[in-house]
Amino acid sequence: MAATAVPKEPKPSPAAKPALAEVIGSPPTIIRPMKIRFTKMQGAGNDFVVLDETQGRLGLTPAHYRLLADRHFGVGADQILTVRRPTADAAAQGIDFEYVIHNADGGEVEQCGNGARCFARYVHDKGLTAKDTIRVQTLAGVIAPRLTPDGRVTVDMGRPVFDAALVPFDATGLTPVAQGLGQKWPLALAGHAQNASILIAVVSMGNPHAVQLVPDVDTAPVAQTGPLIESHPRFPRRVNAGYLQIVDRSHVRLRVFERGAGETLACGTGACAAVAAGIRLGLLDAQVDVQTRGGLLTIAWSGQEADSVFMTGPATSVFEGQIELPDTP
């Protein structure tokens, strides 16, 4: 009887064997925190964390900026300011630095006047420049802060823009109220006092502002209407909401609910926008002292649209430190 060959079971090929990683699992990702140095500064109570990226980028994300601004778990600030060297093309055009601004919510914004003064004080005090006047590139354009002998800083904030479409403000279907050389726009606030309308002057100082006149800033409903104005659908990029009390033609009081930050102790671009609007409406002189909750700012503008607005105010270093940030907060 012929023997029947029993076929051997094939040996499993190496490829058929489960990979070691499949058996024991992939090694865990190790998150190594990074340490960064910072300077805490303030201008009229508007406070900032200033970062130096002149030697290289830190590679921070919006989540990192939010953590730095957090007053409980981070350093605490209204905005994060970053100092960078200009690009080669910008340097060839006389630009000294690039100025990058992030709000407390992590979003990048175009301009910050109080921050510009702190920026100028920082680069001078850190020996990054010996110039008293510097040219700085922002997302909104070029500004020129200048250190003054009394220790304050004057900033050429550029020209105010009143064209609603350029602010930008969607004025479709609205009829403005003319006053002086300017105009005020009705703005309905849904969910507030039966959809009551307020009158606002819209201005861009490189970032959008809605300025309303109030009889007394102390009793103005900033906490109630500020968020409604900031996120109003007629402002596609949101807006900074200013509450302006005119004391006399050369003195005003101001509160600002800032886009992405809430109410702050002072807002430099908000002061510029409020004074420019007041001059345009025929209510203010060419130089005005603006009393904010954080301090005094002096704003000067000729009233001519071709001329820049100049802002003068304090800029102070508070402390320096180092913070450990996770790679992926």
Q: Which amino acids are annotated catalytic?
A: 112, 267
Would you mind telling me the total number of residues written for the chain in this entry? 329
Buried b (16+ CB within 10 A) or exposed e, 219-244: ebebeebbebbbebebbeebbbbbbb
**DSSP state letters, 187-239:** EE-TTSTTT-EEEEEEEESSSEEEEEE-S-TTTS-HHHHHHHHHT-TT-TT--
Residue among 196, 207, 311, 212 at smallest CA distance from 258: 207
Q: Is the dihedral of CA 31, 71, 79, 257 positive or negative?
A: positive
Residue 57, SS3 per DSSP: coil
Residue 6, SS3 per DSSP: coil
Residue 276, SS3 per DSSP: helix
CB-based contact 269:261 (threshold 8 Å) = no
Residue among 116, 107, 197 at smallest CA distance from 154: 116
The residue type at 247: V
Tokens of 242: 């200013």
Residue 312, SS3 per DSSP: strand
